[in-house]
Structure 1
């Protein structure tokens, strides 16, 4: 009997598969070039620099940035968030964030709280994982420096009211950082026309690029308010001992992940060619299919918004029978379905949605290459699993 084909439904962790053009571009770089970015005047180096410049332009276009220089490359979404949080905050500052945040935000803030007494307020989320903008307004203090909000939850998929919260930040004279780990490439974004000062995202999720890539958007008039997280060689102004102050060199010390950015360029070309709107339509169809098939499972709760249009392609289940890791192992071993289980590095939201005592959730996250048939197979597997536990 032939081995059952695997069904990958963990795109909220990292997208898979990638567009074929990503594999081709990265392979061609490794085999035919291999040179560093911005470190040579020979032809191969100049060609690579041109390709990286094009990657930056594509990223700016996708995010709606006013100019490519507002985009700095990082190594992942966590690196992007750390760039802003460590770069902006100083002793005496106050930060407002929420229960829906990832540990990339929560642990970074806690580190600064322990290190020099950063003041923080964490606003609650409701049972669907949604925050209330008024809670941010109520938390504003005279020393509020930064507001941070996850655009879409990696546990419930809930889409947050980032524009409303951004307006609150701007009216209060605070800066606004959006964690777009689950929304970039999934939802239309236009940072130039919205009250977003900084945006952080990885390149390997909705942007369909390789691991080890990330982006941070920094509004051009705010560059001098963000200190560089690392210092070193940039390939520019090498005669000076001080770190460059202009974008993007200020935040791009050290050798770039050249093969990763070559792959990211190919991925961004693919995303822009296909269109985020098309990806969103496909994602909503699959999410609605998951919600319909999983909502009546005996012994399982389905937290988060009931409508697919109110979430990105993330659907979580809470089991009354077994820990989510056990269920994920059963799905993998018996049905060839690969999904994520546990707290998903976002511990606080589980108290809000009722999954804390259960050890987290069983998370399904389809991607652009997921098919309707694969979702049907996953739903059928969950129905069989639920019936076996229910007896």
Structure 2
């Protein structure tokens, strides 16, 4: 205990309550790459689309939280941090904090929307595509098995054609579900055009934005998208176990409330404990409740990852300070070099050449078996799948990293 009664943990909590600039964050570089924000890596890391390295500042924020939890000395400013995190994510996509709820993951957010729309009990047509997240294939196949009409659009020239989307949205279509940026090949939908077509025909639009948030500019107001979800362990530079669900404010009253938990409440007055006031409402004899009017009132289920909130308190503000436009522009020469270099080595690139997103994918039969050994020997990490591989550079990567990868890859 300090002489003035303030402990080190109290100081940590006070520091956590401060904005990024006041917490001594690393200076924003005048030009990218931004290597100083990250710990030294043992090799060349080009796999941020699978799991992004945690910035040093986010690591330190998590350590401060764990320090407090280890001793229970002082108080960690969880509420202030969560408010700031939600506000910063809202800024990132041009939403309001009231339109955002914390969720466990992108998949949890997508499932919450499916439930809130009443599927599969209430049927109707869903239009999706095979460039959507492959983890959602099971969800829509299962909905189809239970009687929902699910239409799958397949890519042409590695893109989902807007004409195909327009033809697929017929009367009775209730939802269009897509990944704004495809995890498979980085294809980016024209979300504003998709929403305009869907809304004109009475359908709503859900967008998985896990490979878009923090990589390309997102404006939910301009696109008029209805729902969006993402986790934080990729391009938001957080960790597993915490993400975000966005629902346009004017839709909140149209959604079915499918869960009921304490974290959805703004007010709670029990009538069962000693000295409690007696119940005054026949339909709430055990406790009077007041629901929150925001997204948490619809979708909050319980506690969530406070350590990840602490990390995002640093990383989201860092992303906003660096600027998504700036990061997008920085990586374009890296992506162009990947396209030309991979093609010159005989690889089949399935990412559209005009793509601005940080994912470049090649199809290659037996990719994992053929490439794992030389890449490991050279300490170069990318995404290796059975019959494809994917490179995903971030703000800390340089052209030297791209050349090192190209030098290591054998000819196709």
Say yes or no: does 1:374 pair with 2:401.
Answer: yes
The structure having more radius of gyration, on CA atoms, is 2
CA contact (8 A) 2:42 2:379 kept: yes
CA contact (8 A) 2:241 2:304 kept: no
Q: Tell me how far 1:215 sits from its aligned partner.
A: 0.8
Say yes or no: does 1:271 pair with 2:297.
Answer: no
Distance 1:265 1:54, change over 3 A: same
TM-align CA RMSD: 2.4
Q: What is the alpha-carbon distance in structure 2 between the residues aligned to residue 377 and residue 246 of structure 1?
A: 52
2:144 aligns with one of 100, 105, 113: 113
For 1:242-295, what per-residue CA distance to the aligned partner results, in whole angstroms no more than 9, with x for missing partners? 894632232122112111111112110100011001111122222112112111
Distance 1:256 1:164, change over 3 A: same
Distance 1:376 1:216, change over 3 A: same
Q: Tell me how far 1:229 sits from its aligned partner.
A: 5.3
Determine the structure 1 residue equivalent to 2:180: 151
Q: Tell me how far 1:141 sits from its aligned partner.
A: 2.8
Say yes or no: does 1:23 pair with 2:64.
Answer: no
1:323 aligns with one of 366, 370, 379: 366
CA contact (8 A) 1:19 1:270 kept: no
CA contact (8 A) 1:95 1:119 kept: yes
Distance 1:334 1:246, change over 3 A: same
Determine the structure 2 residue equivalent to 1:353: none
Q: What is the alpha-carbon distance in structure 2 between the residues aligned to residue 75 and residue 207 of structure 1?
A: 14
Q: Tell me how far 1:32 sits from its aligned partner.
A: 2.2
Q: What is the alpha-carbon distance in structure 1 between the residues aligned to residue 71 and residue 159 of structure 2?
A: 46
Distance 1:34 1:148, change over 3 A: farther
Q: Tell me how far 1:222 sits from its aligned partner.
A: 1.0
Determine the structure 1 residue equivalent to 2:193: 164
CA contact (8 A) 2:132 2:182 kept: yes
Say yes or no: does 1:71 pair with 2:95.
Answer: no
Distance 1:233 1:362, change over 3 A: same
Distance 1:5 1:133, change over 3 A: same
For 1:284-323, what per-residue CA distance to the aligned partner results, in whole angstroms no more than 9, with x for missing partners? 222112112111113x21122123xx2411111223xx50
Q: What is the number of equivalent residue pairs in this alignment?
A: 351
CA contact (8 A) 1:148 1:178 kept: yes
SS in 1 for 2:267: coil
Could you tell which deviates more after superposition, 257-266 or 222-231?
222-231
SS in 2 for 1:295: helix
Aligned residue runs from structure 1 range 1-391, under 5 A: 5-16=42-53, 18-33=54-69, 44=75, 47-65=77-95, 67-90=96-119, 91-114=122-145, 116-127=146-157, 129-228=158-257, 230-234=259-263, 236-239=266-269, 240=287, 244=291, 246-247=293-294, 248-298=296-346, 300-307=347-354, 310-319=355-364, 323-342=366-385, 359-382=386-409, 385-386=410-411
CA contact (8 A) 2:117 2:255 kept: yes
Q: Tell me how far 1:71 sits from its aligned partner.
A: 0.9
CA contact (8 A) 2:372 2:384 kept: no
For 1:334-389, what per-residue CA distance to the aligned partner results, in whole angstroms no more than 9, with x for missing partners? 211111122xxxxxxxxxxxxxxxx431111111212221111001111xx21xx7
Distance 1:198 1:324, change over 3 A: same
Q: What is the alpha-carbon distance in structure 2 between the residues aligned to residue 167 and residue 43 of structure 1?
A: 51
Determine the structure 2 residue equivalent to 1:352: none
Q: What is the alpha-carbon distance in structure 1 between the residues aligned to residue 139 and residue 258 of structure 2?
A: 13
Q: What is the alpha-carbon distance in structure 1 between the residues aligned to residue 142 and residue 290 of structure 2?
A: 25
SS in 2 for 1:58: helix
Q: TM-score, normalised by structure 2?
A: 0.79
CA contact (8 A) 2:160 2:189 kept: yes
Q: What is the alpha-carbon distance in structure 1 between the residues aligned to residue 257 and residue 316 of structure 2?
A: 26
Q: Tell me how far 1:184 sits from its aligned partner.
A: 0.8
Could you tell which deviates more after superposition, 226-235 or 236-245?
236-245
SS in 1 for 2:262: coil
**Residue segments in structure 2 that go unaligned for 5+ positions in a row:** 1-40, 270-286
Distance 1:135 1:330, change over 3 A: same
Distance 1:283 1:187, change over 3 A: same
Q: What is the alpha-carbon distance in structure 2 between the residues aligned to residue 198 and residue 35 of structure 1?
A: 40
Distance 1:131 1:29, change over 3 A: same
**Residue segments in structure 1 that go unaligned for 5+ positions in a row:** 37-41, 343-358
